[in-house]
Structure 1
Amino acid sequence: MSRKIIHKANTRGRANHGWLDSHHTFSFAGYYSPERMNFGLLRVLNDDIVAPGMGFGAHPHDNMEIISIPLSGELAHQDSTGNKKVIRTNDVQIMSAGSGLTHSEFNNSKTDHVNFLQIWVFPKEQNIKPRYEQKTFNPAERQNKLQTVVSPEKDAESIWINQDAWFTLGTLKSGFTEEYQLHQNGNGVYAFLLEGEVEIDGEKLNKRDGMGISDTQTITIKATSDAELLLMEIPMN
């Protein structure tokens, strides 16, 4: 029988620094909950809004897969491996911090806020050479279907992650239904609802609610309104 855990949007940790308004699904920085350290190898899911011209100065990471998904606005990225990029809506960025790097992230606009998801996944292999990848995905490819944007398959349309993990996005019309088949035994799925209302395995989720499901081979998705959904399939241990 599947196991489920639901994190309602209003139960997330929050840090509002003025220039940064961040909601934490899992324990992060000043927010600590022993029951909410991670879901399997998914360690961080932060929903960040950064004021115009502001951002995170250069800081180090190692041995973590760090995924950024802009929901609105533009994010300027710079790192110690020489990358200097701007990521926008419909882009997905991944950094394998590996043996160690430093990076900075700033709102690329002087007038508009940027809202992005910052997601950390524990890596499969430790101390790999740090790497960076980003890709623009066609939003038409997720209209009423699930579009894979992150996977461990290096030759796929998605971007590569150093973990047996798959991320999919869907922009779903009310009434959409689908069974999602997990790729690998021992994986679970963490669903994060960006907009609208859905039912997953009969559980109702609203905007910014999260739900983890493990010990299952499939999950059933039903959009009860127009909705935008992110699914993160990750190993549970």
Structure 2
Amino acid sequence: MISLRGGLFKGLPDAQAPCPYGECEGDGWVVDPETRTAAPCRCRPQRISASRTSTLTREIPERYRHIGINSPEVEELAARAPAQVRTARRYCETIDSQLESGAGLGFHGDPGTGKTMLAFMISRAALEAGKTIAVYSFPRLLASIRDSYRDDATDGYGAFLDKLVEVDLLQLDDLGAERPTEWAAEQIFLVIDGRYEAKRSVVYTTNLALPGGEGAGAETLVERIGHRVSSRLAEMSPPVPLFGADHRTQLAPDLP
């Protein structure tokens, strides 16, 4: 894993990073030496948000750290799924307005069809725009919520949920990968409903089918995670279907 706090991406929101606008000394305040007064810098809201969400998982796997809108892998996917890639690229190109409005995307499809790659492409665009992100797989998110109950947890339960709601972009991978218990279903609802009410963006991936659409006949996302969560996601994150063959199998070498 590559730590995003190490400055891999330009514009990374970090409470201790240099001012991206070149207006302050990195502390979020612009000082006027003549009047001996200080005013908040334009970067201060980003610093506050980064500080509050610093304990969330903000890492992009090495496999996806180079993915951008014009990466060869994205170009290859565009040849197979032009409409879907066009939608994801447009989201990246308008990342500021998308996140400001709380808009997201939901990538539905079979394993190996490019869902996760496009999701990380969006998360990288958000980081390069100076936004805060949190990245969790569905099972890992549930495990992290459970860990927040521990006495030695960095963030208690309430504080952890608040941070999940506050971060600019939440990326959830393999949503519905396991059938949630009653407790788990309630936790996911609290996270998604909190972001829905706060108009915060969610980008998710899932192998589960769309109701009445591609992949029909298999279990749908609404059947797996329930109507309360799926109805909010449908409004927040319009589904992008990516069904087809697992193209990762084409990367296997021909052995003698």
Instruction: State the TM-score, normalizing by the size of structure 2.
Output: 0.26
Rg larger for:
2
**Comparing both structures, which one devotes a greater share of its residues to helix?**
2
**Comparing both structures, which one devotes a greater share of its residues to strand?**
1
Instruction: State the TM-score, normalizing by the size of structure 1.
Output: 0.28
**Structure of higher RCO (CA pairs closer than 8 Å, 6+ residues apart):** 2
